[in-house]
A and B are shown apart, each in its own frame.
Chain A
Amino acid sequence: MLRLECPVCGLRDHDEFTYLEDGSITYPKLANENQDDWFNAVYLRENPRGRHIEKWHHTFGCRTVLLVERDTLTHVIGKIKPAHPKIAAALKQPATAKKRS
């Protein structure tokens, strides 16, 4: 069983999470009407051997969408961070948060 260190909740079993998709995909802007761009984003995936960025959702936890670095060969889990840049930035300042509490 994979165990993921959720930046909000801590180390948890993977069955608390939902795998969403390849986390390295950049979707076109909504206003982009190019069908090929959307097709590539929706359907085309690399199948890397080794380091892979994945998008997971902490469904039975804080419901944060996470970018998880996983080695597809060894299952070793690397860095985990929230996908939302503002949530990631907020979590990087534990000192002030602690002071307040």
Chain B
Amino acid sequence: MTGSRFASGGLIDRKKPITFQYDGMPVQGFAGDTIASALMASGHQIVGRSFKYHRPRGINSAGPEESGALFTVGDNANRTPNVKGTIAEIHDGLIVRSQNAFPNVRYDLGAVNSLIAPFLTAGFYYKTFVGPFSGTRFWMIFEYFIRKAAGLGVASRDADPATYDIAHHHCDILVVGAGPSGLWTAVQLAEAGQSVMLVEQDFACGGQLLSRNNARDAAFIAEMQSRLTRAGGQIMIRTTAFGLYDGLVTGLVERVTDHLSAPHESLPREIFHIVRPQQIVLASGALERGLAFGNNDRPGVMLAHAIARYAGRFGVSAGQSCIMATSHDGTYDDALQLAEAGMKICVLDARPCYTDAQEAAKRVGLDIMFETVPVQVAGGRGVAGLEVGMCDSDGLVHSDNRMIGADVIGMSGGYSPVVNLLSHRGVKPVWDADIQAFRSGPTTEAIHVVGSADGFYDNEACLASADVAVSHILRPRRRDAETEIFRGWQTPAMPLFEINIQGRSLKSFIDPQHDVTTADIRQAHSEGFVSVEHMKRYTTLGMATDQGRMGNILGLATMAEARNMPIAESGITTFRPPFTPVSIGVLAGRSSGSDWWPTRRTPMHDAHLATGAVMMDVGYWKRAWYYPQNGETMDEAYIREAAIVRQTVGMVDVSTLGKIAIQGPDATEFLNQIYINAFAKLPVGKARYGIMLRDDGHVMDDGTTWRLSDDEYFMTTTTAQAGPVMLFLEELLQTRMTNLEVHVSSVSDYWAGIAVAGPLARQVLTGALPALDWSNNAFPFMGVQSAELKLGGAVIPFRAARISFSGERAWEIYVPADFGNAVWVHLAEHVALAGGSPYGMESLGTLRIEKGHVTGAELDGRVTLEDAGFAKMASKTKPYIGSVLRKRSGLMDESRPRLVGIFPKEKNKSFGTGAILCEPGAVSGFGKGWVTAVTHSPALGHWIGLGFVSGGYEAWKGKTVMIADPVRGATIEGEIVSPHMFDPDGGRQNG
């Protein structure tokens, strides 16, 4: 086959020539061409290599079923592999490369694989695991070569520079496919007042009508489009409906810029449209299927209709001399169209001459050979001729070695409706013997299948089926006696799938991309893989990028024949989304890079940056990590900050803590039920540290709760558990505690929080917030007070509690978020005057580790009250969430890992978080415990840690522990101490 461009004709714009690069060579096409049509017109014949044997592959279709013309498109980071050349449009400067071949598809050294083809049959991957060459070592050797040889295109390893977007839609009707049936349905519904979205994967509407390129069809397409637009319908081209999901939610991908030479920079490459229609009309059409005969994978063997489509739509002649092998009437239109265009045509019809279409074609002088089938293609790198055989009425074929000359062969074994989308909804396709194809089974959902997607092949029948769907949608309650519309062709296709000749072994391909032949199917059968789902996986039939569109039915028919049962019984494999490959980037949309998840900034974010803070990510939050001065390292900065808090005063942004307003007459009772400790007697104006458990008895969260009035509390949670705690409280109040009159609302974003801590905290607050008396008598430990601050003309309400995470004399101050930054700056001035400084997360960690205060690193969801050293806080007189299951015997086991402090034996040594705690001489396995947090303590003058170890401090008193860090290399000796490593009696915070 050497393709060429007809002198005229086609839906291309011959005034707009386009030049693109193919394997470094310039190729010319026209606007309206696909990569495949332009390459065919330029005489390129071998455009790909198969997966396993590296056999040459040509263009074999004109649509998404393409199995040969796969390319890598684009360059460097913009490279996209496995692009179907039959869909992708060309544009100036497009870079196209053939793939899976070395040095190129035309001369591929990998073709030696075909010499060892007998060893690469069905299931050969699996067989490398058994027999004389089994074992990991051999597999590793095989795998290296198999992976190297059996690749398709190679994706770029660079980050995708393209941008993507996601759009959401609601409509009455989503119509999938803008062929005649889809257009007609969409217009009728839109003109009846429905909001209609019509999506088409091609870059032009018309479907099958585009292949003919006649004036009448063109006028129909134009009229339908303009009527639909006028009626308010939306037409989306280059848009594939790739999946149908629950609730009729449909995923579409629109390719926005891939066809443009210089897209505007604001345009995303693709858009993921999520549509929520009331009803769906599937007008997804039908795909032609080939026939299995010898060497039917040679470049130049194509689907019969594709040859007509290249001629009609693109003005491209696939060759000079064409054989069309068929088993049905549908091919005659194609053959006549090509003969008219000037190609030499010979039709091989497997049937005897008895139909009107056959007679009509004979009358106009078409060269037809009846009861004749293709047997084997001659030629290696293209078609040199075709051996044909005679087919009797039982389907038995005998060959007298007759050869016919041709350079291109069209094959057609009928059409298969595209049932994929309904299959996504769990609707099993059913075999319809009348049309020799699978059709969608019935569905209870509002999905209507019309046109050739439901097996109506004649144009008038397609439109009539569309009318029925329109009537069902517009008048759902009226069920008129429906006139039956005839499916298929007037004379049904002859069931013909594989041409077999007794005593001959032909290489008949059914999956040309994965090199699956009918012999592989029979081998799968003989080895026991007879279920179609097993057969698929064993032979990889239908697992290539065309997802079985080319040869699935041929494979199913071959298996059915081997099992001696009808296709209807042997069944069909399940189609799953996506319909055609979808880039991962478009599913992510804008959620990439720094937008991968939300960014939460505290109200004081700008003040931290202005102070030179280094920020860190804590969940979604950006928090100040440390505030380096004069080029300090992180260690230098946090040790200085921690020391300053102990010596003078520091301030830290605690706005990220969860804050929950708990209000109502039963608020006290509610707290009493969710916290392990008693809240019934907490007076107004006091705060209490509380711990809550999950139902299973493990610690969920800790925090302080402030009593603001008789029926109002202010609860703080940890940053990480803010969401889960809020949800749990709501769930309890709405399900198990419905008798309580309590309302909870999250006020986390309403309040900005600042903790001021250190020996000089009182002095700072007295100066900065003069509305309150901060003395020990007026504001004792765990006291709560509210007042106002007059600042820069504003009157700012604030609430404060005397609580301490650092172990120093400390208050937490909360102000409305809008004033957070101003109050932070105001307090910072007073802190600086007292010789203090802001401190970040790292020194916050130091201070709390010194005190043995736990955070999420310790409360990891596996910890009991006993483990964390809280058991004494638990009330013995009241029930609370988790109070029963926490007492399970396994959880009360004395040898469970308990919270401890950890010192290195040699005080100048450090160790790492995540290290394992072991007994001396037994550094192995999981050890006896682990390290959760490590810091350098300026107060103690050496490295310290927190962790859990079996039996806790009591069991390890005076013993040596090995702090083992096998991954990072070091193992040092240490000792287990009480977790309260600094100021254990709390004198500093109470004074």
Q: Which residues of A contact B (CB under 8 A)?
A: 1-3, 13, 18, 20, 27-28, 30-35, 38-39, 41-43, 55, 57, 59, 63-65, 74-75, 77, 82-87
Contact = CB atoms under 8 A, between A and B. Distances in A.
Given A3-B246, A3-B247, A3-B249, A35 B734 contact: no
B731 A1 contact: no
Contacts of A3: 246-247, 249, 276
B245 interface: yes
Given A3-B249, A35-B885, 17 more contacts: A1-B249, A2-B246, A3-B246, A27-B735, A30-B736, A30-B883, A31-B879, A35-B887, A35-B888, A43-B696, A57-B727, A63-B730, A64-B734, A74-B426, A84-B733, A84-B738, A87-B734
Contacts of B274: 1
B678 to A, nearest CB: 14
A75 B884 CA distance: 36
Contacts of A65: 730-731, 734-735
Contacts of A34: 884
A77 B673 CA distance: 34
Contacts of B606: none
Nearest to B745: A63
Contacts of A27: 695, 735-736
Contact of B738 (A13, A30, A86): A86
B880 interface: yes
Q: What 7 A-B pairs are tightest by C-beta distance, nearest first?
A: A3-B247, A65-B734, A1-B249, A84-B734, A30-B879, A38-B884, A75-B246
Interface string B126-154: 00000000000000000000000000000
B366 interface: no
Contact of B673 (A30, A35, A86): A30
B772 interface: no
Contacts of A20: 731
Contacts of A13: 249, 276
B246 A85 contact: no
Interface string B673-704: 10000000000000000000001100000000
B278 to A, nearest CB: 11
B879 A82 contact: no
Contact of A83 (B426, B696, B735): B735
B696 A42 contact: yes
Interface in B228-285: 245-247, 249, 274, 276
B734 A82 contact: yes
B881 interface: yes
Contacts of B883: 30
Nearest to A1: B249
B731 A57 contact: yes
A21 B170 CA distance: 30
Most A CB within 10 A of own CB, among B249, B738, B884: B884
Contacts of A87: 734
A38 B885 contact: yes
A10 to B, nearest CB: 12
Contacts of A2: 246-247
A83 to B, nearest CB: 5
Interface of B: 245-247, 249, 274, 276, 426, 673, 695-696, 727, 730-731, 733-736, 738, 879-881, 883-885, 887-888
20 contacts: A1-B274, A2-B247, A3-B276, A13-B249, A18-B727, A30-B673, A30-B881, A33-B879, A33-B884, A35-B885, A35-B887, A35-B888, A38-B695, A39-B885, A55-B735, A63-B730, A65-B731, A74-B426, A77-B247, A84-B733
Nearest to B730: A63
A15 B647 CA distance: 50
Nearest to B884: A38
B246 A1 contact: yes
A45 B720 CA distance: 28
B885 A42 contact: yes
B36 to A, nearest CB: 35
Nearest to A77: B247
A20 B479 CA distance: 43
A85 B426 CA distance: 36
Given A2-B247, A38-B885, A59 B727 contact: yes
Contacts of B730: 57, 63, 65
A57 B731 CA distance: 8
A47 B918 CA distance: 42
A88 to B, nearest CB: 10
A67 B174 CA distance: 31
A96 B345 CA distance: 79
Nearest to B723: A59
Nearest to B887: A35
A86 B246 CA distance: 31
Given A35-B885, A38-B885, A65-B735, A30 B727 contact: no
A32 B884 CA distance: 8
Contacts of B246: 1-3, 75
Contacts of A28: 884
Contacts of A41: 695
B102 to A, nearest CB: 44
Contacts of B887: 35
A18 B728 CA distance: 12
Most B CB within 10 A of own CB, among A1, A20, A85: A1
A65 B888 CA distance: 30
Nearest to A67: B735
B735 A84 contact: yes
Nearest to A26: B736
A27 B736 CA distance: 7
Contacts of B731: 20, 55, 57, 65
A67 B767 CA distance: 54
Nearest to A43: B696
B731 to A, nearest CB: 5
Most A CB within 10 A of own CB, among B733, B735, B883: B735
Contacts of B673: 30
A83 B734 contact: yes
Most B CB within 10 A of own CB, among A13, A41, A82: A13
A75 to B, nearest CB: 5
Most B CB within 10 A of own CB, among A13, A30, A33, A43: A30
Contacts of A55: 731, 735
Contacts of B736: 27, 30
Contacts of B696: 42-43
Contacts of B738: 84-86
Contacts of B880: 30
A77 B148 CA distance: 48
Nearest to B276: A3
A75 B249 CA distance: 13
A19 B673 CA distance: 24
Nearest to B247: A3
Contacts of B879: 30-31, 33
A42 B697 CA distance: 10
B735 A1 contact: no
A64 B673 CA distance: 21
Nearest to A57: B727
A41 B884 CA distance: 12
B728 to A, nearest CB: 9
Contacts of A82: 734
A33 B245 CA distance: 45
A59 B696 CA distance: 23
Contacts of B734: 64-65, 82-84, 87
A29 B246 CA distance: 37
A12 to B, nearest CB: 10
A30 B727 CA distance: 19
Contact of A42 (B245, B276, B695): B695
A85 B735 CA distance: 9
A31 B880 CA distance: 8
Nearest to B250: A1
A18 B731 CA distance: 11
Most A CB within 10 A of own CB, among B426, B879, B888: B879
Contacts of B245: 1
A27 to B, nearest CB: 5
